[in-house]
Amino acid sequence: VDAKAQASYFGDTGIPIYTVGFGSSSLQDTTLDLVMESLIIDPLVFEKKNTPITVKVRSLGAANRDITVRLLVEDRTGIKKGEAGKMVPATAYGNSRVATQIHPTQNNELSTVELFWTPEIPGEYKIAVEAVPLEGEIKQTNNRLETIVTVQKGGIQVVYFDSLRPEQKFIRSMNDPKIQLDYIPVGNGFSGSKNPVNADLKDLSRYDVFIIGDVPADILGPTVLRKIADRVEQGAGLLMTGGYHSFGPGGYANTPLESLIPVVMRASEKQAGNVIAKDLHYFQDLKMVPTSLGLQRYVMQLDSSREGNRQKWNSLAPLKGANRLRKKFETVEILAESAGNEAIPLLFASDVGNARVMAFAGDTTFQWFLSGNRSEHERFWRQMILWLAHKENESDQSVWARVEPRNVAPGSQVPIQFGARDDKGKPISDVQFTVQVKGPSGKTSKTEIQGTTGTSTTTFSQTQEPGDYWVTVRADKNGNPLGFDATTRFIVDPRDLELDNPAADYSLLESIASLSGGSSLPPEELESFLTRMNKEKLWNNDLTRYRRVSLWDNWYFLLCFILLLSAEWFFRKHKGLV
């Protein structure tokens, strides 16, 4: 509400306003307040790189006091998309500095603070920089500034342990500039050496994804297995593929990887030498297809449309056998199985802490390559690696959405950009988009837009409530969805309208009085002013109130009126007076 405009309105209607000011017009000498005035961070940063964050903190009335400025990061453990997580103090890694102290020497001082944050896992993060409230600080809503940051990887480092078998040759031929795959040959099938791998052969701490093929656990050795387990616990991805000497038959039941691999393994399953336990393997051809859940997962998308995806999977050559595997927990997802009534599970996926792990029962996907489906073979393996490395959102997904800026003031117009693209990254035309925005209170707003070639834009204006707003964009073409929905979010910064400026604004009071025809009084003149007003009877005690009553709201009165007119007409007609 514009106070001056309302004062002019009252002045035009002959109603003067008399104002009386109380309190101090200056805060820095009397009131304690810490204000975060700006937050500067690159909206796109990279994993494991020290990222500078610059903030400006204004301290009012805090001379010679220690002020802690710290970084907070959203904890999304167990939180679904569309829900905001709890903000917790950021963890310091390496050379990062996520908290510091300042010591202002004046009661009105502006300090520049620089923090350093090292994100460990890629994704979209909500961060905040906060000046920890001091005792006696009245207003605390301006102690924190929040924003959204996207963390990417500069590239994926993959190490692949496997014997010299056909599968590894075709996996290594995958061509993707984002993926650097280091192959370490271990043994040669059944006749391979049983000596453990040199633990110092590679610096395993630099790898983002570990792939273990047909390699017995004894060949890798306890030191390498322990290093792999440590990296996975830190967030690296792990995939074990099928083979005569992987999973339980490879002796992984009593190793550091047992708790990470998402399938059941027993020590009694370990196979010695060239012996093959037929009850632990399938030897028939198995046509691999997505499960109903797998059709909804990124790894199993070989085409942007649902029907096209089914057709491509049905066109692939069958696998030549597989390991017999069972998921370890109910939370493990089965993404692929064999076609037919038997539905043998083939691909398992799970989250373990901050890491993603997979178990693939097959080891002959090169059959797809040899039968003319090279692009499908490469896409399947590329998407598994991207998913394991938490980088699937950075690949060329069909549907995308973007909001800039990420922080807006209440009541602002927020532009939302979105679009759809094909497998080659080219825009798709004639797409029906559904844009849904979910506010902090859970209220949703949905808009359907017919997209054009390139980037489509809509504007969201219902931003009065501060908090997180989640944007979900769905794309359909000819009634079929184009890949997964795109999700992003923006923040409406909180503010306290009453306490944004708690100081007394005497100039505003004088303007209100002047515009309305009244006057502004100091507090010591209030008593004499009231006495004079009462003595001279300047108060207008007469009040005229108008009330409009609709007859339709009083049907009984209208009915009585109609009956009265009808009776009068009847008697006049009866007496011959009409």
Q: Which residues contact 529 (CB under 8 A, 6 or more apart)?
A: 18, 521
pLDDT tens for residues 237-278? 999 999 999 999 999 999 999 999 999 999 999 987 777 888
The domain spans of the chain are 3-13+506-535, 33-152, 156-390, 399-492, 550-578
Fold of 33-152: Immunoglobulin-like (2.60.40)
Q: Is 89 left (phi over 0), alpha (psi -120 to 50) or beta?
A: beta
pLDDT tens for residues 466-506? 999 999 999 988 888 887 888 899 999 886 545 555 667 78
Specify the range with the lowest mean pLDDT, choosing from 22-31, 269-278, 452-461, 528-537.
22-31
The predicted structure's pLDDT at residue 222: 92
Q: Which residues contact 361 (CB under 8 A, 6 or more apart)?
A: 242, 282, 322, 323, 324, 325, 344, 345, 346, 347
Side chain identity, residue 426:
K
We find that the CATH architecture of domain 156-390 is: 3-Layer(aba) Sandwich (3.40)
Q: How far apart are CA 217 and CA 227, in angstroms?
A: 13
The predicted structure's pLDDT at residue 65: 93
Residue 275: Cβ within 10 Å count = 9
pLDDT tens for residues 125-181? 899 999 999 988 888 888 999 999 888 766 688 999 999 889 998 998 876 657 888
Side chain identity, residue 96:
S
**Which tokens hold the place of 50?**
């020290």
When pLDDT is cut at 50, 70 and 90, the band that residue 47 belongs to is confident
CATH number for the segment(s) 399-492: 2.60.40.1930
Same fold, 33-152 and 399-492: yes
H-assigned helices in 234-330? 306-314
Q: Is 403 left (phi over 0), alpha (psi -120 to 50) or beta?
A: beta
Beta bridge partners of 211: 160, 239
Start-to-end CA distance of the chain, whole Å, equals 62
The predicted structure's pLDDT at residue 506: 82
**Which tokens hold the place of 146?**
């929040």
- Reply yes or no on whether the pLDDT at 212 is more than 90: yes
- Reply yes or no on whether the pLDDT at 377 is more than 90: yes
